[in-house]
Amino acid sequence: MGFQKSLLALGVTVGLATFGGAAFAHDHTGPMPTTPGGKAAHTRQENFKQQGAAFKTIRDELKKDAPNLALISANAAKLKSSSDALPTWFPKGSGPESKYETDAKPEIWSDPVKFAAAVKRLQVEATKFQPIAASGDLGAIKAQVQAVGGACKNCHDSFRVPEEK
């Protein structure tokens, strides 16, 4: 009897933990945008997801005992090209006024000089990263990953709505 109750407790604990997560599993199912601003915001988010995925692929490789250098190099190239294209992802009208759910702050458009500088910093770091990735020097690659991530963070800190804290 005691053991059964223990099992019940454990079952409920795990169950609550699992369902707690599963309940929120379908939360990104808003309607597709129809306005040009909304479409641009949506495209921007898709682009950032790809950029994030490329960066994550590199970082995941670096955790391994034998990182795949070709994969790191290929994704460093992706980071470089997406960083170069990044300024075109923010057309006027794709901010909060698009009514599409976005974390892009209005300051992107109201302070274009500061925004351009933040983007430039990413482009510089992503450009530096390419030859370093190709060199295969893991220590240098890890250091430059921090520099690229720092550029991401630098821009997010000023121009992205902070996450709930």
Smaller CB separation from other proteins, 64 or 139: 64
Instruction: Report how far apart the first and last C-alpha atoms of the chain are (Å, whole number).
Output: 43
Query: By C-beta, is 72 or 152 nearer to other proteins?
Result: 152
Q: Give the residue with the Cβ less far from other proteins, 34 or 165.
A: 165
Smallest gap from residue 108 Cβ to other proteins (A):
16
From CA 68, how far away is CA 130, in angstroms rounded? 15
**Using CB under 8 A as the criterion, which residues of the chain lie in contact with other proteins when the complex forms?**
1-3, 5-6, 8-10, 12-18, 20-21, 24-25, 27-28, 49, 52-53, 55-56, 59-60, 63, 146, 149-150, 152-153, 156, 160, 163-165
- Write down the least CB distance from residue 21 to other proteins, Å: 5
- Report yes or no: 86 and 119 within 8 Å, Cβ to Cβ: yes
Nearer to other proteins, 28 or 30 (CB): 28
Q: Alpha-carbon dihedral of residues 151, 28, 31, 100, nearest 10 degrees?
A: -30
- In the bound complex, what is the minimum distance in angstroms from residue 10's beta carbon to other proteins? 7
Chain centroid, CA 15 distance in Å: 30
C-alpha 55/C-alpha 65 separation (Å) is: 18
